[in-house]
Amino acid sequence: MDHSNYVIDEMISAKSIAARVEELAKEISALFEGTDKLIVVGLLRGSFVFIADLARELDLPVEIDFMETSSYGNSTESSREVRILKDIRGEIEGRDVLVVEDIVDTGHTLNHVVHLLKSRNPKRLKICALLDKPSRREVDIAADWIGFEIPDKFVVGYGIDYAQRNRNLDHIGAVRFVE
């Protein structure tokens, strides 16, 4: 099938995302209340828009750091091999850490990252994912906060791409391939 022809059907509106990000930030701020600094670790590149919006809503002192992993390439299917392309710069030992992921699919990437970060002895480590596709899970991992649970559809927008396109959409859309 030629994957260059596709349309995007809106699944989650920009308004719905903004409202949910505000709710998530309130819950996260409540849990980490009193922390001297929350280290927000974003998984690039898909989470960058979500992190920017979430961080602005957090009522906490925040440090932002990033990791970049690779498991997809330009395919719509996960390769299940997770590589760390960019590690965080800061120390997290004894610190409060929030891992922010765009989408939890098979769980391989998130599982790999969480194990790596936990080995560095953070005080607390929690996970917030914008999207969750539980029907695709292959490893036992769950986010502490989920923006939206979605069906097994390939999605783009709000930072999430297909072959490096559509990250700039203000909503989440399902990709539908056409002949």
Task: Provide the pLDDT confidence category of residue 83 given band limits of 50, 70 and 90.
Answer: confident
Q: Which has the closest alpha carbon to 71: 40, 108, 111?
A: 108
Residue 40 has pLDDT above 70, yes or no: yes
Half-sphere exposure of 167 (CA within 13 A, CB side): 13
Catalytic residue among 96, 105, 144, 170: 105
**What is the fold, at CATH topology level, of the domain defined by 13-152?**
Rossmann fold (3.40.50)
Average pLDDT (93-108) is 96
Tokens of 127: 């996970």
pLDDT at residue 2, as a whole number:
56
| pLDDT over 70 percentage in the chain | 93
For residue 80, pLDDT over 80 is answered with no
* Percent of the chain clearing pLDDT 90 (strictly above): 85
Pick from 98, 94, 93, 82: nearest CA to 41: 98
**Measured CA distances, 112 to 31, 84, 109, 120 (Å):** 24, 9, 5, 13
105 is annotated as an active-site residue = yes
Q: How far apart are CA 94 and CA 111, in angstroms?
A: 20
pTM (predicted TM-score): 0.92
Pinpoint the alpha helices (H) of the chain.
14-31, 48-57, 108-118
Lowest mean pLDDT among 77-86, 134-143, 168-177: 77-86
Can you give the pLDDT at residue 63?
A: 97
Mean pLDDT across the chain: 93
Instruction: Please check the confidence at residue 73 and state whether its pLDDT lies above 60.
Output: no
